[in-house]
Amino acid sequence: MIYKRFFAVISFLLAATLLLGVVVPQKVGFVNDFANVLSEETRNKINDWAIELREKTDVDMVIVTLPDIGNTNIVDFGVQLYNQWGIGSKQNEGVLVLLALQERKLRLEVGYGSEGYLTDAYTHQVYQTMESYLTQGNEKWDDAFIQGSMMLLSAIAKEKGVTITGISEYAQKKKESNSSGLGILAFLIIFVILIIATRGRILEWLIWFSIFGGRGGGGNSGSWGSGNSGFGGFGGFGGFGGGRSGGGGSGGGF
């Protein structure tokens, strides 16, 4: 039993990175949620977007959340992690989004080659957007990373002259969902106004109509199909392109 535990510890250390005194598990993809703060759906959604970005631009966007960073400086930690993992292409184009849970710190670390379009001013806007969600509670953390990722990916895609179709589809579905919600709200407002204007008689009319007007043919309507869209893991991740960073980016507390 002791030998099994010993070999388990050795195996873990071999598969991990010791960085500034903090053990960082082996990277598993573009989204590395080691602090377990994101839903599986969000992890996979952002990972898919990052894969599409890599395929179309050779630029990496990497998410890392850690339980803690041993009270080290998050800027130094971000630079070290970025360079040790080799995030980005050989042209040093990439961005790391790093969250330290215990320290409540967020850092956006930008590779040398991306500093021209992912400027400190722009990454500060991304940080402010994410921070506004992070301070609202754990239930908003998925939104923080979704919105932050969309801002970063959109800026990179614009610079490279490509479209990230995953983001476009997500934005369209979000727009349709919001429009549907507004339509229901408008109907309820109109219905309340009619009740007030008719002094409640509209309810009598609706009851009468439902009794005498709803006796038509009764065709059966089939139920909606429920396809399973299972989210897989990040198995077989091959690594990043060997990029480097020198401390460009933004961040702060939340």
Together in a domain, 51 and 109: yes
Together in a domain, 109 and 200: no
Together in a domain, 110 and 182: no
pTM for the model: 0.71
56-65 tens-digit pLDDT: 999 999 999 9
Together in a domain, 97 and 9: yes
Together in a domain, 71 and 49: yes
Going by C-alpha positions, the residue among 74, 132, 90, 4 that lies closest to residue 250 is 74
pLDDT lower than 70: segments of the chain: 1-18, 20, 171-238
At 211 the pLDDT is 66
The CA dihedral of 32, 38, 44, 48, to the nearest 10 degrees, is -70
The CA distance from 146 to 124, in Å, is: 16
DSSP 162: -
- 186 found inside a domain: yes
The domain boundary residue, chosen from 109, 137, 163: 163
- 226 found inside a domain: no
Is residue 144 within 8 A of residue 134, CB to CB? The reply is: yes
- 72 found inside a domain: yes
At 221 the pLDDT is 34
174-218 tens-digit pLDDT: 555 554 545 565 555 665 565 666 656 666 665 655 666 544 444
- 154 found inside a domain: yes
Domain hosting residue 196, numbered range: 167-209
Together in a domain, 67 and 171: no
* Total of domains in the chain: 2
Together in a domain, 105 and 180: no
Together in a domain, 154 and 178: no
At 168 the pLDDT is 72
Together in a domain, 179 and 157: no
Together in a domain, 17 and 136: yes
At 212 the pLDDT is 61
At 249 the pLDDT is 96
* Contacts for 80 with CB less than 8 Å, ≥ 6 apart: 19, 20
- 13 found inside a domain: yes
CATH for 48? 3.10.310.50
- 123 found inside a domain: yes
